[in-house]
Amino acid sequence: MIVAEGKPVEKILEMIAPYKKVLIAGCRGCVTVCLTGGEKEVGILASQIRMARSKDGNPIEVLEQTEERQCDAEYNAKFLENVGKVDAIMSLACGIGIQYLGEKYPLTPIYPGVNTLMLGANIDVGKWEERCFACGDCVLDKTGGICPIARCSKSLLNGPCGGSQNGKCEVSAPTKEDVSCGWQLIYDRLVALGQVDKLKEVIPAKNWLRAKGPRTYVREDLTLDRS
Amino acid sequence: MTEANSKPEGNLKSGSALERTYASGQFVVTGEIGPPKESSFHHVEMYGQGMKGRVDSVNFTDNQTAVTRLSSWAASVKLVQMGMEPNLQVVCRDRNRLAIQSDLLGAYALGVRNVLCLTGDHQAFGNHPGCKGVYDVDSIQLIGILKRLRDEGCFECGEECKHNPKFFIGCAANPFADPFEFRVVRLEKKIEAGADFVQTQCILDMERFERFMELVRERGLHKRIYLAPGLMPVKSPKMARYMQHGVPGMIVSEEFCQFLEKAPNGKIAALDLTVNYIKHVQQIEGVSGCHIMAVAWEEVVPLILTKAGVLPRPFAAFHDNPGVITDELKALWKKSGVEGYVPELM
Amino acid sequence: MTKQITNIRIGIYLCDCDGKVSKKVDLQKAKTVIQSQADFDYIRATDVLCGKVEKEKIGAEIDKYSLNRLVIAACVDSFIMRQFLQLADEKGINRYNVEFVDLGAVDSTGAAVAAANNALGKMRLRAEIGYEELAVTPDVLVIGAGSEAAAAATTIAKSQPVVQIDNVGTRMIGLDGFPGAFTVRLLENGQAVKKDFGAIVLALGAVPQYDKSKYGGIELGADILSLSQFVNSGKDYAGKKVSFALGKADADSLLSFAAVLKAALGLKGKGASEVNVLYEDMKVCADDLEQDYELARKKGVNFLKYTGEFQIVRFPSGIAFKYREPFLSDPVKIVADYIVLAEEFVPAAATLELAEILDIRTGPGGFFQKDNVHFLPIKSNRAGIFFVGSCHGPIHGTDLYNEIEAVVAEVSAFAKGKVSVPSLQPKVEAEKCAVCLTCYRCCPHHAIEIVHGEAYNNMYNSAARMNPLACQRCGVCASECPGKAIQLPLYSDQEILVEVKQPARIVAYACENSGFLASEFAKTLDPELQKDVQIVEVPCSGKIDIIYLLKALENGADGVMLCVCHKENCKFVWGNNRAEQRKERAQKILNQIGLGERIDFVHVAANQGNQFNTAVKAMAEKIRQSGTNPGKVVK
């Protein structure tokens, strides 16, 4: 799922500084699951903003509303009434939802309350890890089901590089983070599967056109003609 | 300067001195200079003079550890102008395939003949940690590109390159990284892709290197590629300990650290150790040369090579009239306290 | 799912308790204020509310005004509560629709009004609590092969069907379902089998293990035996001299003492010529041990005290202990034919595997059960799963029969094959449930399942559901839920937040197992101190949501406290840990907007009234330094 983290409240307050009435829009999709933008977090942020502005002698009215998703126009329509009452929207959905909600209400300024981080798996409560780069050309069949683009710091297709040691990627040292070497993981998995010979094959240079957009995906067989 | 269109003689692919020395079966010696962080060739000239005629060719690192330095291709061209032979290192981190092929066309036209294809340390190590790491291609794919240019005369996309560069293609291998048993498989992949010669990460644990060579010989790789281990004189015992614990991809043996710690004069000991290693690796089956990487201590290379008895070089330019040891170089020796190591050079 | 709340009609009764309340509270004034402020359907103030006449009067008013919820503001004690709950029950009002306000505990009219308003607010918001009739299996599974398991199985079998497995030939490999309706997956001689049980009792015992390092490296042999070797040897020791050594191993339990005393008595009974027991301290603090000790002495067993180390030395005449007696200057030598040494006890081999299968915790020494007073003696973190004997620590082996009785009492809940329980477990609103699994993972009691069906009105046709018999109603899930889809009956967000709509200067969210009880005790020690403190009761500190802390401040409190159980002694395993994490975040939220230090996190036990007062003083001091809360939002 899409994983996002809340922006620092100083930045959020900066964004809504000129306004007297704002709507915080939450989403019941990915941002609820990653504990960042659901109804609960909307409530917490709203309370924090109210108190901050009250303290500064510049009170603000904060409305709260959470709907299923912000990446579908029908759900975004449900915000209509509240949007009509406010000067600006602070959305806690992922970058997709923030923009799409903004497209629905182009005359109301919309602001991001979160940083969208990655496509990741929920390892345990409060812990998520990136797994996919959305590169548009999946090679998981060649690498034992582990992605070299997302999980190798250099996105090498024929790794590992010389900086892999004890299963750790060389970036662990300068970033002081614990980063596994994606290619060590691939190697170990292929050994376990008895498929390590797959690594003899040289994977050719990638077509990066698929990995960077703006991208569109159309299924001609499913598009609806409403005329 | 060699014209782009000239055909290398005989069976040689590039005609470089490095290739010729390897092909002759004689023990190869290469050096390395790290370009400066400024727009000046002063250091290239000073260290280059010290290595002139004493090595077969000289590596130039490419923004080593992701720190901006004078580009390796510019330094390489300068060395060609000085009459010596450079080994141009190219990393995949900073340029896409378009820019790399473009740089190489120019480098070849200006006389560069040896190129090493490397991945590159992650940008997080360097002085612009937030910059975009390119990695459009990896080192193995890059070897393939150079081979295609040389042997098929076309670019990566398949388009013809009329005056195609014919490089002697090099790569790196790290016997001290993991997974250990996969390192030889990866070396073989590089050979398959077209690598002609390989330089290893510097050896600070001889036992592990010898185990690596066993695996290399087991696979017969030593018959398919010229292999030269990296050797680094380590300036101080403290530096050795730091590399033992603080540098990924590097293994330093306890023996190595203790040799330096117990010696009365650490710097002389470092030089002695390197000289001993040069003599030792010549005895290892499958080793065709050695690569002296005196990182931040380039001035000691002439001392080491003279002491190691590998002079003169057979095919290097000026081998009969090696480069001048400048006063500046001598001053640097004095600073390290090693000016007495080879008295006749003073 | 939440029942629709329609047509709530609340009656509020204020009682002077025969003049007692008027000493501090102006009842008529209170009534007037409440009438102008609050939301209710009938109000009456009177001198005395208890007694037959009043009962009938109230009953008639309930009918006349169609009241279905009551607030009783009076001097409240358990007798009074019983009376009114009985009346309510007769009138078809269930006990969860009656709220009591203790006017005996308030000291001003204002406080009485506030308390009454809170109670009315809660009654207006309270969800309807029904009863659930559940079918349960009376069968009990006893896991274990030794004497402890046999004793447990035999005793429980007197009242309910029991299946005992040794976990070797027949092994447990999986568990599904919930208390009253567990489905146990077994491997019976290689065959996979499923059986249903209402409850599971672990009685694996502990495993004796000889540790030679405790005895200076002595190896066991023909005449040097470990205690379990001796007990199992079945040899004839008539005419022989046997010496036992206690005190070097098994430091934490009484099992060795019990075994040695029994063995000594047995030896004497069978004609051993001399029985010696070497000990450092005689530990007899369990049922029958003191008796056995006295009896053994009477029967001529020699009890020899040693101090420090002893040696085991071989002589031609036999094998001897050489040791120092505390009152003799020379070392003492006791020769015997056999020497028996006490062993350490370690957890049974299957402990870790079973702990994982059953999703229960292990504790000190790797035995079952964490060292948490709320689980003693026989409970695990999961309802329906119990421990007896040494498997949860060798110290329990000597208390076996008491533990078995406790388990019999617990499992008897399922004896009739059906149970009726109030539906007090948290309810999930499917429209808001993202099925993110957060509640499922955070539940300390394995009480949540993910269910599917058309009725669940969201894109997954799925939602979390809490099992009424497994759920302990701590509320951790409700506070963790990122979608605000879960509400805990009696402690919903609305019911709790209504209490802090107009908060006191200090709001203390207090766990009803610790902080709340401490606050009551604290009031008796220093009644004045809590004047500015409002206690909000929660079932577990794990129910304290970050928004509760923020809202209290937003509405005007100057500081908030969280009063929680001591570390590793949360009744609900990790409720207090979650509360601490939320407190950290809430304080960070305040720091980010410059509101200062206003949140205190206090560990107290129920009987620590003095410590509670100290904490209140500390909070008051903190507030004094941070100043009045500048973040208060005026509506």
Torsion-angle region of A62 (φ positive above 0: left; ψ -120 to 50: alpha; else: beta): beta
Measured between CB atoms, which of C432, C554, C592 is closest to A9? C592
Q: What is the end-to-end Cα distance of chain B in Å, rounded?
A: 33
Lowest-pLDDT choice from A155-159, B211-215, B248-252, C436-440:
B248-252
* CA dihedral (C253, C254, C255, C256) positive or negative: positive
pTM higher than 0.80: yes
| pLDDT at site A72 | 94
> A21 — contact with chain B (CB < 8 Å)?
no
Residues of A in contact with B247 (CB under 8 A): 173
Q: Does A167 touch chain B (CB under 8 A)?
A: yes
Instruction: Quote the minimal CA–CA distance from C579 to chain A in Å.
Output: 15
Task: Give the span between the Cα atoms of C161 and C142, in whole angstroms.
Answer: 11
- C593 with A48: Cβ contact below 8 A: yes
For C596-611, b/e burial (b = at least 16 CB within 10 A) is: bebbbbbbbbbebbeb
Q: Thinking of the domain C140-205+348-414, which architecture would CATH place it in?
A: 3-Layer(bba) Sandwich (3.50)
Is CATH 3.40.50.2300 correct for A2-118? yes
Given B120, B121, B140, which is nearest A158 (Cβ)?
Answer: B140
| Topology (CATH level 3) of domain C1-128 | Rossmann fold (3.40.50)
Q: Between A173, A188, A204, which is nearest B248 by CB?
A: A173
Q: Is A204 on the interface with B (CB under 8 A)?
A: yes
Q: Are B171 and B190 within 8 A, CB to CB? A: yes
- Check if C1-128 and C491-635 are the same fold: yes
- B223 in any annotated domain: yes
- Confidence (pLDDT) at C540: 97
- CB neighbour class for C211 (10 Å; exposed up to 12, middle 13-18, buried from 19): middle
Cross-chain residue pair A163–B246, CB shorter than 8 Å: no
CA distances from residue B138 to B39, B118, B120, B125, B146 in whole angstroms, order as listed:
29, 8, 9, 18, 12
Which CATH code fits C491-635? 3.40.50.960
Please check whether residue C97 is in contact with residue C126, taking contact to mean a CB–CB distance below 8 angstroms.
yes
CB C146 within 8 A of CB C169: no
- Out of C434, C594, C633, whose CB is closest to A33? C434
Interface test with A, best of C428, C436, C555 (most A CBs within 10 A): C436
More reliable by pLDDT, C507 or B5: C507
Instruction: Give CA B259 to chain center in angstroms.
Output: 25
Q: Would the pLDDT of C154 be above 80?
A: yes
| Phi, psi dihedral angles at C203 (to 5 degrees) | -140, 50
> In this structure, are residues C553 and A51 in contact, taking their beta carbons and an 8 Å threshold?
yes
Task: Copy the structure tokens of residue C564.
Answer: 């929680």
Paired strand residues for A89:
A23, A110
State the pLDDT confidence band at C148, using cuts at 50, 70 and 90: very high
A163 contacts chain B (CB < 8 A)? yes
The pLDDT of residue B2? 43
| A184 lies within 8 A of chain B by CB | yes
β-strand C170-178 against C274-279: which pairing, if any? unpaired
How would you list the strands of the sheet with A61-67, edge to edge? A61-67, A21-27, A88-91, A110-112
Q: Give the start-to-end residue ranges of the domains of chain A.
A: 2-118, 134-211
Are chains A and C in touch, 3+ Cβ pairs below 8 Å?
Answer: yes
Q: What is the pLDDT of residue C537?
A: 95
Which residues 487-546 of C are in CB contact (within 8 Å) with A?
Answer: 545-546
pLDDT tens digit string along C219-254? 998 899 999 999 888 888 899 999 999 999 888 788
- A186 touches A146 (CB < 8 A): yes
> In the numeric block, which tokens belong to residue C419?
């149970």
Angstrom distance (rounded) from CA C578 to CA B323: 72
Say what angle helices B237-246 and B254-262 make with each other, to 10 degrees: 160
Cα dihedral C27, C33, C38, C40 sign:
positive
Provide ipTM, 2 decimals. 0.88
- How far is C-alpha B233 from the geometric centre of its chain's CA atoms? 14
Q: Which residues of C touch A36 (CB under 8 A)?
A: 482
Cα–Cα dist B27/B290, whole Å: 8
CA-closest candidate to residue C430, choices C450, C406, C405? C450
CATH number, domain of B195, equals: 3.20.20.220
Chain B neighbors of A168, CB-CB under 8 A = 248
pLDDT value, residue B243: 86
B232 within some domain: yes
Evaluate whether B200 touches B226 at the Cβ level (below 8 Å): no
Q: State residue C268's pLDDT score.
A: 92
Of B92, B178, B193, which has the smallest distance from its Cβ to A202's Cβ? Answer: B193
Distance in Å, alpha carbon of C550 to nearest chain A alpha carbon:
7
Subunits touching B (CB < 8 Å, at least 3 pairs)?
A
Neighbours of C212 (CB within 10 A): 12
- Cα distances from A84 to residues A155, B8, B273, in angstroms, run 46, 77, 79
Domains contained in chain B, number: 1
Q: Report which DSSP code applies to B151.
A: I
Q: Is there a contact between A48 and C632 if contact means CB atoms under 8 Å apart?
A: no
Token pair for residue A7?
Answer: 């922006």
Q: Are A6 and A41 in contact (CB under 8 A)?
A: yes
pLDDT in tens, A40-64: 999 999 999 999 999 999 999 999 9
Residue C412: pLDDT band (50, 70, 90) is: very high
Task: Enumerate the β-bridge partners of residue C387.
Answer: C202
Task: Kindly state whether residue B179 falls inside one of the protein's structural domains.
Answer: yes
Average pLDDT, chain C: 92
Domain boundaries, chain C: 1-128, 140-205+348-414, 208-344, 424-487, 491-635
> Is the per-residue pLDDT at C183 higher than 80?
yes
Which chain B residue is nearest to residue A170, measuring alpha carbons?
Answer: B248
Nearest CA of chain A to the CA of C133: how many Å?
Answer: 33
- Name the band, by pLDDT with cuts 50, 70 and 90, for residue C1: very low
Query: Domain C208-344 belongs to what topology?
Result: FAD/NAD(P)-binding domain (3.50.50)
CA C159, C163, C164, C165: dihedral to nearest 10 degrees?
-170
**CB-nearest partner of B122 from A165, A171, A205:** A171
Indicate the pairing of strand C10-15 with strand C42-46.
parallel
DSSP assignment string, C151-192: HHHHHHHTTS-EEEE-SSSEEEEEEEEETTEEEEEEEETTEE
Report cis status (omega within 30 of 0) of the bond before A160.
yes
Closest CA to C261 of C289, C239, C238, C285: C289
* Mutation choice for C interface testing from A2, A7, A32 by most C CBs within 10 A: A32
Return the pLDDT at C245. 93
Interface check for C605 against chain A (CB to CB < 8 A): the answer is no
Non-local CB neighbours of C388 within 8 Å, separated by 6+ positions: C148, C152, C201, C202, C203, C378, C396, C400, C403, C404, C407
Give which of A143, A146, A149, A158 to mutate to test B binding, by max B Cβ within 10 Å: A158
* Residue C506 falls in which region: left (phi positive, over 0), alpha (psi -120 to 50) or beta: beta
CB pairs under 8 A between A and B: 106
Q: Does C589 touch chain A (CB under 8 A)?
A: yes
Chain B positions in Cβ-Cβ contact with residue A156 (cut-off 8 Å): 119, 135, 138
d(CA B314, CA B156): 36
Decide if A170 and B121 are in contact by the 8 Å CB cutoff: yes
Cross-chain CB nearest to A154 (options B133, B141, B172) = B133
Residue B6 pLDDT greater than 60, yes or no: no
CB spacing of A170 vs B138 below 8 angstroms: no
Which residues of chain B lie closer than 8 angstroms to A162, CB-CB? 119, 172-174, 177, 201, 249
CB count in 10 Å sphere of residue C413: 18
Q: Using CA atoms, how far apart are residues B199 and B227, in angstroms rounded to an integer?
A: 6
Position B1 pLDDT exceeds 50? no
Mean pLDDT rounded to a whole number for chain A: 95
Among the partner residues A154, A167, A199, nearest to B122 by beta-carbon distance:
A154
Kindly tell me if the per-residue pLDDT of A76 is higher than 70: yes
pLDDT single digits (tens) C351-372: 999 999 999 999 999 999 998 9
Please give the pLDDT value at position B319.
85
Bridge partners, B91 (sequence order) = B118
Residue with tokens 């060798």: C394
How many C-beta neighbours within 10 Å does residue B309 have? 10
- Beta-bridge partners for C99: C71
Mean pLDDT of chain B: 93
pLDDT value of residue B8? 72
The residues near B274 (Cβ < 8 Å, ≥ 6 apart) are B231, B232, B233, B292, B304, B308
B317 vs C492: which has the higher pLDDT: C492
For residues C233, C236, C240, C242, the Cα torsion angle rounded to the nearest 10 degrees is 30
Q: What kind and span of H or E run contains C450?
A: strand C448-452
CA distance C240 to C369: 42
| pLDDT surpasses 70 at B4 | no
B338 near B266, Cβ under 8 Å?
A: no
- B27 Cβ neighbours under 8 A, 6+ residues apart: B282, B288, B289, B290, B310
Q: Report how many Cβ contacts below 8 Å link chain A to chain C.
A: 87
Query: How much is the average pLDDT of B211-226?
Result: 96
Distance from CA of A34 to the nearest CA of C (A): 8
Which residues of chain B form beta strands (DSSP E)? 28-33, 57-60, 86-91, 114-118, 168-173, 197-202, 226-231, 289-292
| Chains B and A in direct contact, meaning 3 or more beta-carbon pairs closer than 8 angstroms | yes
CA C72 to chain CA centroid, Å, is 30
CB-nearest partner of C631 from A28, A41, A51: A51
Shortest distance between the Cα of C468 and any Cα of chain A, in A, equals 24
Determine the pLDDT at residue C423. Answer: 95
| C563 three-class SS | strand
Is residue C3's pLDDT more than 60? no
Domain ranges, residue B71: 26-312
The DSSP bridge partners found for residue A111 are: A90
Q: Which of A9, A29, A54 sits opposite C632 (nearest CB)?
A: A54
CATH number of C424-487: 3.30.70.3270
